[in-house]
Amino acid sequence: MSLFFVNILDGLVMGLLLFMLCSGLTLIFSMMGVLNFAHASFYMLGAYFAYQISTGIGFWPALIIAPVVVGVLGALVERYGLRRVHQYGHVPELIFTFGLALLIEEVVQFLWGKSQMAYEEPSALAFTAFSIAGNSFPAYKVFMIFVAMGIFLVLLYILTKTRVGMIIQAALSYPNTVQNLGHNVPLVFMGVFGVGTAMAGVAGVIAGPVLGTFPGMAFQLGSIVFVTIVVGGLGSLWGALIASLLIGWLQTFAAAYNVRMSDILISLGLERPADLAESALRDLWTLTLPQIGPILPYLLMVLILIMRPQGLLGKRET
């Protein structure tokens, strides 16, 4: 039972981290119709920038500076890259962000090399917050939970209670009308893109020490992020939250419990083939849950697409 609680907390950390990426991505998508393929690359940039800054002036300034730099970069990409490609339609836009993701990975390898960076959590948080029956829970993860929750609450407040949020919400549905009312819609787009990428940057800063800072980190998380927003429903912020937590827990629990397929098959009354190496179904017999853990999110996505194409909380199919 104690392992269960630790996994709940670990899954929560993972889920909230996913949500920090998904919320920005889904906001950008529902506003501009652009699925930013390079979103996870900005997450990676956040981690690398934070590493670089933290070697100079420490972790806490990096927590503020790195996301700001990433956000400015994101806004520049929107202003000088995406806006230019926008005239060609959505598919070239998607190809542009895909190319950007490739390029960012190459640039990161060029600047920092291929090996993992020694980016570690600040010493102020390097202690055990509490332990449940021998399973310790590091304080840094508690810190991650609070940062992610805080950002979510701030985002919710801005979107629903402030004037800027109202303009953003209006520009989501009727960009032309909002423009006619005298608001600078391209500027709003640029701002949302910048804030979205900055949030990915924050996620990178706080996830770098835990998940590792290496050139493959963008791709590793990026494809899961896409799965999450499809499962949650494109453009739905609450759907993204639910799907993020769901996938976070799914992955954590699958990695923690070593359920063997052969046990299940035997309990179903099937007999284990005598010569396993020759059987065509040998992989079915040797499967374990941690082994298939990484593909569970994709399986979930395929199932959702077949059963409910608009996603958990999505309203439209596109």
Where on the chain is the footprint of other proteins (CB under 8 A)? 29, 33, 35, 81, 84-85, 87-92, 94-96, 98-100, 102-103, 106-107, 109-110, 113, 219, 223, 226-227, 230, 234, 280-283, 287, 291-292, 294-295, 298-299, 301-302, 305-306, 309, 317-318
Measured distance CA(72)–CA(186) in Å, rounded: 15
Shortest spacing between CB 66 and other proteins, in angstroms: 21
Shortest spacing between CB 111 and other proteins, in angstroms: 8
Nearer to other proteins, 133 or 277 (CB): 277
Nearer to other proteins, 113 or 150 (CB): 113
Helical (H) or strand (E) element with 108: helix 90-112
Shortest spacing between CB 286 and other proteins, in angstroms: 8
235 near 26, Cβ under 8 Å?
yes
In 10 A of CB 274, how many CB atoms?
Answer: 7
* R_g of the chain computed on alpha carbons: 21
In 10 A of CB 66, how many CB atoms?
Answer: 26
Nearer to other proteins, 90 or 161 (CB): 90
Measured distance CA(213)–CA(194) in Å, rounded: 22
Shortest spacing between CB 180 and other proteins, in angstroms: 20
Shortest spacing between CB 223 and other proteins, in angstroms: 5
**What are the backbone angles phi and psi of residue 118, rounded to the nearest 5°?**
-85, 60
Shortest spacing between CB 247 and other proteins, in angstroms: 12
Nearer to other proteins, 194 or 311 (CB): 311
What DSSP state is assigned to residue 268? T
Nearer to other proteins, 115 or 267 (CB): 115
Q: Please name every residue paired with 288 in a beta bridge, in sequence order, or none if there are none.
A: 260
Measured distance CA(62)–CA(85) in Å, rounded: 32
Measured distance CA(31)–CA(268) in Å, rounded: 50
Helical (H) or strand (E) element with 196: helix 185-211
Measured distance CA(175)–CA(182) in Å, rounded: 11
Measured distance CA(19)–CA(25) in Å, rounded: 9
251 near 19, Cβ under 8 Å?
no
Nearer to other proteins, 61 or 92 (CB): 92
Shortest spacing between CB 92 and other proteins, in angstroms: 6
Tell me the pairing of strands 128-132 and 135-138. antiparallel
